[in-house]
Amino acid sequence: MNSNSSTCNNVQDKKADRLKKLRDLHIKRNEARVNNHQEVIEEDKLMKLPSNWEARQRKADWLLNDDKLKEEAKEKGQDYERLKLLNMTAMEADAIDRKKKRKNPDPGFSDYEQATARQYNRMISNMKVDMNSYNRQRDKLGKAFYAEANTYLHDKVKDSKEGIDRMVDDLEKQIAKRNKFSRRRTHNDEADIDYINERNMKFNAKLERYYGEHTTQIKQNLERGTAI
């Protein structure tokens, strides 16, 4: 009887041990499934973000930290710009110097996207960021502050009167500057007509200004019919 009882106990212990292992495996499998699902969601979320989202977020965080350090230095009566120079490495100083030298370069005609980006950077270079308003809006919007492809902000963000006035003022300056340089050019009757409208004429003239010296021979061969 004792032998049989001992055997039954061993069988039950082994069975209980197997059931425990199965439960542990089942729990681990569920945890792995949940983790994989979360990682897929996060990866999909990152894929939908703009290509420069991480750089924009780093810049925003740097601006916040820079303003915080500036306020602390002001409270202590210290010169923040001097403190930054004292704590700056030679490599950082060299990088800043190179950046200043190539600020707003003119690489010539490239495409409308790069021209628009240069105009945007030029327009915001003198703008002062209101960090108090920035922080309030970030706290109010939460995760939606860093907008994704499917983020809905239509009824969540309202432009301030100061911001609208600033935009109108800037547009008026752009219009005045554009009118200043958009004078009518004298038409040359003897020039070749290689355009379909005035905008296309200006585009072709810009191409000729930057690439004409490199394409002269090709154009001549095409006109003679000797191009390969």
Q: With a cut of 80, say whether residue 42 has pLDDT above it.
A: no
In the Cβ-directed half-sphere of 69, how many Cα atoms lie within 13 Å? 13
Q: What is the per-residue pLDDT for 3?
A: 57
CA distance linking residue 95 with residue 89, whole number of Å: 10
Lowest mean pLDDT among 141-145, 183-187, 216-220: 183-187
Q: With a cut of 60, say whether residue 81 has pLDDT above it.
A: yes
Assess contact for 109 and 206: CB atoms under 8 A: yes
Q: Which residues contact 88 (CB under 8 A, 6 or more apart)?
A: 96
Q: Which residues contact 15 (CB under 8 A, 6 or more apart)?
A: none
Going by C-alpha positions, the residue among 163, 158, 147 that lies closest to residue 57 is: 147
Q: Helix (H, G, I), strand (E, B), or coil: what is residue 108?
A: coil
72 vs 53 pLDDT, higher one: 72
Confidence of residue 185 (pLDDT cuts 50, 70, 90): low
H-type alpha helices, 49-160: 53-75, 80-86, 90-101, 112-124, 131-141
For residue 48, give both structure tokens.
Answer: 């939908």
Overall average pLDDT of the 183-196 stretch: 70
Q: With a cut of 60, say whether residue 177 has pLDDT above it.
A: yes
Q: With a cut of 80, say whether residue 147 has pLDDT above it.
A: no
Q: What is the per-residue pLDDT for 37?
A: 79
Q: With a cut of 60, say whether residue 2 has pLDDT above it.
A: no
For residue 95, give both structure tokens.
Answer: 């990088």
169 vs 88 pLDDT, higher one: 169
Q: With a cut of 80, say whether residue 143 has pLDDT above it.
A: no
The pTM assigned to this predicted structure is 0.32
Going by C-alpha positions, the residue among 139, 125, 132 that lies closest to residue 68 is: 132
> What amino acid is encoded at 167 in this protein?
M
Overall average pLDDT of the 57-81 stretch: 80
Q: With a cut of 70, say whether residue 110 has pLDDT above it.
A: no
Overall average pLDDT of the 81-103 stretch: 72
Confidence of residue 9 (pLDDT cuts 50, 70, 90): low
Q: What is the per-residue pLDDT for 5?
A: 62
For residue 36, give both structure tokens.
Answer: 């994989």
Q: What is the per-residue pLDDT for 227?
A: 60
Q: With a cut of 60, say whether residue 75 has pLDDT above it.
A: yes
